[in-house]
């Protein structure tokens, strides 16, 4: 009996050691993408306003800019959700929908019922949800959709033979209806995004409704992950409709993923910042720049570019991110950047405006997770009138934010400095 117990203890110890080793290996794999990164500053060769900028952004990131688009801004849930639900309910042939966050609550049920109703009416309806981001979702909503004929799939559910893949999430937020009308931005399907940012329980966010030739590029981005998950190619006129010019905006939709084009997002930001001549306004829900991005912003200010950044304040869903972000502010504030914390509620916007010409919107955060770990999608718009509209919205948010001075940053308490130091140890995962 003693021999049996001894052998059991040895076996258990070996198993425990194996589990610890496996977890350690997974942790190491998560902290390294295994791909080379952009390591050097980009040389400044042109301004955002020059045709060369538009050309090279298309060549380096994938799809070219296409003319003839109309982009409408939607602020907060009271504008965002009615527009998205109206588009879904108007669908005649196809709906493709990809989201990171989809939680329980009334708005989740309303989306599920709208998608299910269209599927029952014969509309081909495809829903792709991130496994982690939809972990709080009521299973009954999924069942309602599946029973109606909606194809619902999860991105990277865990399997023992590729657990490290869980750290690669689809953070993309895309809705395309009949291949003609599309939406992208920062919103998730959850109660926090409802309302009009009127209190800390209702978040501030921006989404965008898009029409015109660039919608085909947005559909292609959805298809990228749909093929990864299902192996099914969605094509033909119901998904890729004939698209006429409907507006004056040039636009480009591109994506990034650790499995292909992992550096595209950071390259886009670096090119845009390096090409800025006058202004950079950044709405950043998660702002944790690495050294390369910090240097690019500081270099821009040295040549006279005004840099303004709005970030979340005390109302934030990830305090670790706020601590890691604040640890980086010193050199930016010293160089003259305006960094302001949004006061009323959680600030979830993801918008960059450069020289009142370029507007970048989508799912991408200004951090390593978006630049290297997540699957992301960003819509670039070149349109001076649209950029001026976005600048006015940015300045309205800035007016509700508290600027942080360099002296205040230097005087923060020791306990905050220590907490920031600890948070910065994992900034590659934030």
**CA atoms within a 13 Å half-sphere pointing along the CA-CB vector of 383:** 22
From 126, 156, 173, 180, active-site residue: 173
- Is 350 a residue of the active site? yes
From 154, 156, 171, 180, active-site residue: 171
CB 372 within 8 A of CB 33: yes
Residues ≥6 apart with Cβ < 8 Å to 173:
98, 99, 100, 183, 184, 185, 186, 187, 188, 207, 362, 363, 377
The DSSP result for 125-150, as a single string, is EEEEEETTTTTTS-HHHHHHHHHHT-
- Is 106 a residue of the active site? no
CB 218 within 8 A of CB 174: yes
- Is 343 a residue of the active site? no
From 202, 350, 383, 427, active-site residue: 350
Element (H, E) at 3: helix 2-30
- Is 173 a residue of the active site? yes
| 232: nearest Cα among 142, 130, 124 | 124
From 178, 224, 367, 383, active-site residue: 178
Burial of 163 (0-12, 13-18, 19+ CB in 10 A): middle
From 348, 383, 397, 427, active-site residue: 348
At 367 the three-state DSSP class reads: coil
Q: How far apart are CA 373 and CA 263, in angstroms?
A: 10
Q: How far apart are CA 305 and CA 422, in angstroms?
A: 32
Q: Could you list the active site residues?
A: 171, 173, 178, 348, 350, 355
């Amino acid at each position: 009996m003693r021999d049996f117990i001894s052998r059991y203890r040895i076996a258990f110890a070996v198993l425990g050691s194996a589990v610890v080793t496996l977890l350690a290996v997974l942790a190491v794999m998560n902290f390294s993408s295994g791909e080379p990164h952009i390591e050097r500053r980009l040389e400044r060769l042109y301004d955002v306003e020059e045709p060369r900028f538009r050309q090279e952004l298309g060549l380096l990131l994938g799809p070219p800019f296409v003319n003839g688009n109309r982009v409408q801004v939607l602020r907060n849930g009271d504008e965002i959700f009615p527009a998205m639900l109206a588009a879904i309910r108007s669908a005649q042939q196809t709906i493709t929908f990809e989201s990171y966050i989809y939680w329980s609550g009334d708005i989740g049920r309303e989306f599920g019922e709208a998608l299910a109703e269209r599927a029952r009416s014969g509309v081909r309806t495809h829903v792709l949800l991130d496994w982690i981001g939809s972990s709080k979702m009521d299973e009954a909503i999924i069942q309602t959709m599946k029973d109606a004929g909606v194809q619902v799939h999860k991105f990277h559910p865990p399997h023992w033979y590729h657990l490290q893949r869980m750290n690669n999430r689809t953070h993309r937020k895309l809705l395309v209806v009949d291949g003609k009308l599309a939406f992208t931005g920062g919103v998730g399907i959850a109660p926090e995004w409802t309302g009009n940012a009127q209190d800390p329980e209702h978040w501030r966010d921006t989404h965008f409704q898009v029409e015109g030739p660039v919608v085909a590029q947005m559909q292609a981005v959805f298809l990228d992950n749909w093929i990864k998950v299902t192996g099914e190619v969605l094509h033909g006129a119901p998904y890729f409709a004939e698209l006429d010019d409907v507006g004056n905006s040039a636009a480009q939709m591109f994506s990034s993923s650790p499995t292909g084009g992992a550096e595209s997002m950071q390259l886009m930001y670096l090119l845009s910042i390096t090409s800025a001549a006058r202004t950079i306004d950044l709405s950043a829900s998660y702002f944790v720049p690495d050294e390369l991005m910090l240097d690019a912003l500081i270099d821009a200010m040295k040549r006279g570019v005004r840099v303004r950044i709005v970030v979340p304040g005390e109302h934030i869903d990830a305090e670790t991110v706020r601590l890691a972000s604040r640890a980086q502010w010193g050199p930016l504030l010293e160089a003259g950047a305006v960094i302001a914390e949004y006061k009323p509620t959680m600030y979830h916007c993801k918008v960059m405006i450069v020289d009142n010409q370029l507007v970048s919107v989508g799912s991408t955060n200004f951090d390593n997770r978006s630049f290297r770990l997540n699957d992301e999608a960003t819509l670039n718009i070149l349109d001076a009138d649209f950029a001026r509209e976005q600048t006015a919205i940015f300045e309205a948010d800035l007016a509700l934010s508290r600027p942080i001075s360099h002296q205040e940053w230097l005087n923060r308490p020791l306990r905050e400095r220590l907490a920031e130091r600890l948070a910065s140890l994992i900034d590659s995962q934030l």
